[in-house]
Homo-oligomer: A and B are copies of this chain.
Amino acid sequence: MDIKGFQFSAVEAAIKKPGRKDLALIYSEVPATSCAVFTTSTVKAAPVLVSAERITAGSAQALLVNSGNANACTGEMGMFVSRECSHLVASGLGIPEEAVQVASTGVIGVQMPMERIRSAMPALIEGLSSGTLDEMAQAIMTTDTFAKMEARCGQAGGKSYTVAGIAKGAGMIMPNMATMLSFIITDAKVDAAFLDRAFRQGVDTSFNVITIDGDMSTNDTCLIMANGMAGNRIIASGSPEAEQFELLLHDVLLSLAKQIVRDGEGATKFVEVRVNGAEHDADAKRAALSIANSSLVKTAFFGQDANWGRIFAAVGYSGARVDQARLSLCFDNVCMAENGVFAGGDAEARGTEVLRKKEFTVTVDLGLGSGAATVYTSDLSHEYININADYRT
């Protein structure tokens, strides 16, 4: 994969357990047009506060990210550490401190091991000459079981460019935010205003429609950097390549978002929840999220139990306008319920067959209007509890 002008590095700074890389750096040889979205939580990690302030300038040249410690609920000391880390990166690379974005993921409420990060910094910057994006994707994993990466190639004015991204997820994953951490880079030259719009729209229909456990994180960050090194004519709103760029970017975002759901903590199922026939799209999303976040529904998915009644119950308390006599529900193409009641026949047996698959779609039609929404989720398994009952130990 060739993404011109970007360099990567990942080292072991002993923030996590020994033997795993936990500190990583993306460096763009030139300042990149950048934008980012962050958690909407009122309890924000220090790196979120630092990065959010800096990104308003619309440009970034480096991203420092660590796993193993979220640097959240760490007060003034946490702010100092995030700034000091970015200072070390800036002086090592010879770029302004304001051009450095920082991100963290891991345990909340523990102070960062600043001296270990300081010691690891020379090797981190040194490593830029040989590092890969794949190593970065590995280094940001926490309870993730596989590294999440996606890339697409496009053409603009005879020049080819690449959009690539990495992400980490697993737990504390819930829409209405970016995900835990995701970083998108492209060597395309892109107009800042167009990039901002395309990026936010893309996040809204990818990371913002996934939920694993309904818990929103203090550290959610999704950042894009476009450094223009592909040498293409600038892609802007209305330019012939704009639509292709939007599609490629959305492909990368959605692929990463789905990878996060597939790797949800303890997940054994990947479930697409579609709600159609709502009065409006907002109601459809409300109902879809209510289904996707219901512990009872998710546990039934884990048990491969075609318990469609729990799904209707979740729709019932979602706040969406509902006429229960019009509700219908399908597992893939098997209709389980129509006009609010069991569809009869062999629906039970066929529905159970669907739920035995690793991936399936739940479609609920409210029968009221044309509002629609899709949300991606996982099941709730014993493994989720194993992972989270002793996360810190």
Contact yes or no, A309 B107, CB < 8 A: yes
A333 interfacial by beta-carbon distance below 8 Å = no
Number of chain A interface residues as a range: 35 or more
Please name all residues of chain B whose beta carbon is closer than 8 Å to the beta carbon of A314 when the two chains form the complex: 215
A95 interfacial by beta-carbon distance below 8 Å = no
Count chain B CB atoms within 10 A of each CB in A44, A75, A294 and give the residue with the most: A75
Contact yes or no, A313 B41, CB < 8 A: yes
Report the copy number of this chain in the oligomer: 2
Q: Is the interface of A mostly helix, strand, loop or mixed?
A: loop
| CB interface residues, A 68-95, toward B, < 8 Å | 70, 72-75, 77-78
A216 to B318 alpha-carbon distance, docked (Å): 9
Candidates B108, B172, B305, B384; contact of A389 at CB < 8 Å: B305
| CB interface residues, A 54-80, toward B, < 8 Å | 70, 72-75, 77-78
Count chain B CB atoms within 10 A of each CB in A214, A310, A337, A340 and give the residue with the most: A310
A144 interfacial by beta-carbon distance below 8 Å = no
Contact yes or no, B216 A43, CB < 8 A: no
Contact yes or no, B73 A392, CB < 8 A: no
Contact yes or no, A324 B388, CB < 8 A: no
A98 interfacial by beta-carbon distance below 8 Å = no
Candidates B78, B295, B388; contact of A300 at CB < 8 Å: B388
Query: Would A339 and B109 be within 8 Å (CB), given that A43-B322, A316-B216, A391-B305 are in contact?
Result: no
A145 interfacial by beta-carbon distance below 8 Å = no
Please name all residues of chain B whose beta carbon is closer than 8 Å to the beta carbon of A316 when the two chains form the complex: 39, 41-44, 216, 218
A365 interfacial by beta-carbon distance below 8 Å = no
Please name all residues of chain B whose beta carbon is closer than 8 Å to the beta carbon of A309 when the two chains form the complex: 70, 72-73, 107-110, 218
A78 to B302 alpha-carbon distance, docked (Å): 29
- Besides A43-B324, A107-B309, A174-B317, 4 other A-B contacts (C-beta < 8 A): A43-B316, A214-B294, A380-B385, A385-B385
